[in-house]
Structures are given as C-alpha cells and as structure tokens.
Amino acid sequence: MSMNLEREKEVLVGSQLAETKKLNLSSILYVGTVISMLVALYFIFIYAAEEKTMGAAQKIFYFHVSSAWLAFMAFFVTFVCSILFLIKRKRIFDTYAYVSAEIGVVFTIIVLTTGPIWAKSSWNTWWVWEPRLITTLILFFIYVAYIMIRQMDGVWDKKARLAAVFGIIGFADVPIVFFAIRWWQTKFHPIVFGDGPSQSGGGIEGTMLTALFVSLAAFTILYSYFLYKGVSFENMKIKVERYKEKLREDLDK
C-alpha cells in the first residue's frame, strides 16, 4: 500500500515539474515576444531613416517582408515535419506540421494585405497580376487546402498522411515565390538585393537594413511563441479526444 502511494506521489511530482517547465517556457517566449516587438517598433518608426519618395508609407515594408519571412519559415517547418511524420509516423510531427501551416496561412494573409496597401502608395494601384503576387496567392490557396484536408472527417492518421504529402509538394512554391522577380520580367515588384531580367537591386540604406534585421528577429520569436502555444493547444485536444473515447468504451461495457 505504501509503495503504491509513493509511486502516485512520484507521478504527481513529475507531472507538476513538467507543467512548471511548460509554464516557464511559455512565459519566456511571451516576454521575449513582447520585448522584441517593442524593440522592432522603435527601430522601424524612430531609428530607421525615412524613404525620400514614399515617406512614412514605406514603413509598411518591414511588416510586409517580416510577415513573408515568417510565412516561408512556417511552411518550411511544415515541410520538414511532414517528411518526419511519413518516416517515423509519430503524431507530434503531424501536430507541429499542422500548427505551423496555420500560422503560415495567417501571415500569408498579412502579406497579401500589406502588399496592396504598399502597392497603392508605390505603384498607384492595389493589385497587379505580376509573378510574385500570383505565386504568393497560389501559395496561400495550397496551404488553405492543406488545412482543409486536416479538418476533414475521418481517421486522423489517414488525413495526416494525405496532408503530409500535400505539405511536402506544396512547399515547392515557396522558392518559386522568392525567385519569381529574379526569373521573370516585372515592372512593379522591386528587387532589393541581387539581379533580375528587368532590373538590379540597389540594396537599402544602413539604418533601414538594421531595422529590417531586427524586425525579422522579432517575428521569428513571435512565430516560436505561436507555434509553442498552438502545439500545446492541439495536444490538449488530443488528450480530450482520448478521454472521450475511453469514456465511450467504458459506457459500452
């Protein structure tokens, strides 16, 4: 009897330590996100020089590029975790792939929203059917379809396998989006770094480049926080589903 009590105490202590570690990590990521975003806002609106032609409207550039970076990174995580899921068949990889895809879709929406706002002040038009915009829109629909597959009715492992294949194939559009303006003629979308068939990138001013790097770092931390919270939420959903199944089995007996 005493041995059983000791084992129960050990299990309780172990679970409490695990929960404490999770809370600590969540708090660290949250505080890091808040601080890094505030620092990024300082660098964007105060430290970075103002563009001569566009003025303050150019500041949206930092949010636009950082959101695109976050979306690409999220889809890359989906790509890697989908491969790992197909190899190892562990549900945790499917969970990470799914949550990361959701985050990627949200920030692709931000890219497709901030882009036209910036385009209106820069090109005097909301939308142009040019290579990067078209391929980005295709990328958005690919991963919306991925999420729809994951939310279909049916056994989770079958949905997960189908979604994993879709997530791997869909990632092929990410490098196409990035290199689109370097591979095809474009009159509107500017090349900042490198060369394309119709233009050459001139880079950006030093303080602007620093603000961009700070923004990219802040959005990366933001992604880490969202991914951690999303995976935690999905794991709780899985536990609830298992408890429900066990309860049904007990009631049927």
pLDDT in tens, 25-76: 888 989 999 999 999 999 998 888 877 777 777 788 899 889 999 999 999 9
Residues 6+ apart with CB under 8 A from 33: 218, 221, 222, 224, 225
Q: Which region among 4-18, 62-76, 108-122, 201-215 has the lowest average model confidence (pLDDT)?
A: 4-18
Is the CB of residue 198 less than 8 Å from the CB of residue 187? yes
pTM confidence score: 0.82
- Nearest to 200, CA basis, from 182, 179, 176: 182
pLDDT exceeding 70 applies to what percent of the chain? 79
Tell me if the domain spanning 23-196+209-248 has CATH number 3.40.50: no
Say yes or no to pLDDT of 2 above 50.
no
Say yes or no to pLDDT of 8 above 50.
no
pLDDT tier, 192 (very low <50, low <70, confident <90, very high otherwise): low
Alpha helices by DSSP H, listed for the chain, are 2-42, 60-88, 91-123, 131-150, 156-170, 173-183, 206-252
Residues 6+ apart with CB under 8 A from 177: 72, 132, 135, 136, 139
Residues facing 200 on adjacent strands:
195
Question: Is the model more confident about 203 or about 152?
Answer: 152
pLDDT tier, 194 (very low <50, low <70, confident <90, very high otherwise): low
pLDDT tier, 179 (very low <50, low <70, confident <90, very high otherwise): confident
- Max CA pair span of the chain: 80
Rounded Cα gap, residues 170 and 149, in angstroms: 13
pLDDT of 56: 72
Phi, psi of 211 (to 5 degrees): -60, -35
pLDDT tier, 207 (very low <50, low <70, confident <90, very high otherwise): confident
Backbone region of residue 252 per phi and psi (left: phi > 0; alpha: psi in -120 to 50; beta: other values) = alpha
Mean pLDDT across 195-224: 79
Boundaries of every domain in the chain: 23-196+209-248
- Nearest to 170, CA basis, from 36, 105, 93, 79: 79
DSSP assignment, residue 110?
Answer: H
By the 10 Å C-beta count (0-12 exposed, 13-18 middle, 19+ buried), 133 is classed as: buried
Mean pLDDT across 222-251: 85
Query: Structure tokens of 52?
Result: 């001569």
Mean pLDDT of the chain, nearest integer: 82
**111-160: pLDDT as tens digits:** 999 888 877 776 677 777 788 888 899 999 999 999 999 888 877 888 88
Report the amino acid identity of residue 108: T
